[in-house]
Amino acid sequence: MLDPHDLADLCEATNAAIVEGGGFGWVEAQSRSALERHFRGVMLVPEREFFIARLDGQVVGSAQLVRPPRNNEAQGFAAQLTHAFIAPYARGFGLARLLVRRVEERAAAMGIRVLNLDVRATQESAITLFERLGYVRWGSHPAYARVGGETVAGFFYYRLLEPQHGRSTADALGRIKT
């Protein structure tokens, strides 16, 4: 659980990201109470792990690792990286790269072999980051989101993860057809 100061920092960073256009679904700044409820709720969901990024001790971003529910054994090898952002005022320090890598490390340690994500086509810096980190774009959706009264496309990505121990992902999953 985040302490009140960290939660306040997180809410401020979230609204800064929303205003800048990277609000992971929100397109308008939210009230502090709405954001606090959201993040408190996120931390209660068993299939979600919540990661925060700090700059000089201040929370400036976050990401979530979402595993499929236990009754979805067929997709138990894959997880979703979602709601990843760094506040605009904290960019340029490599925090986004570090945050994504930390999520990947945790996922691999849990036995996750595939990490999926999706992003609005307008979020160019996020797209550049994910592609530089080795995420493979496998598809797009022309009517992915509505922002400012406009329909925006979205892109879908995956990245294969290698476990620290055991069989390689290629051996575990076999040949992947794209």
Share of the chain above pLDDT 70, in %: 93
SS3 category, 65: strand
Where does 4-173 sit in CATH, by number?
A: 3.40.630.30
φ, ψ of residue 7 in degrees (nearest 5) = -65, -40
Instruction: Indicate if the pLDDT at residue 55 is higher than 90.
Output: yes
Is 36 in contact with 7 (CB distance < 8 Å)? yes
pLDDT score at 156: 98
Average pLDDT, the chain: 92
pLDDT score at 163: 78
Question: How would you classify the pairing of strands 78-86 and 114-120?
Answer: parallel
pLDDT tens digits along 72-118: 888 889 999 999 999 999 999 999 999 999 999 999 999 999 999 99
Domain boundaries, the chain: 4-173
CB neighbours of residue 9 within 10 Å: 21
pLDDT tens digits along 105-149: 999 999 999 999 999 999 999 999 999 999 999 999 999 999 989
Question: How would you classify the pairing of strands 136-147 and 48-55?
Answer: unpaired
Beta strands per DSSP E along 35-98? 48-55, 58-66, 78-86
pLDDT score at 177: 59
pLDDT score at 175: 64
How much is the pTM? 0.90
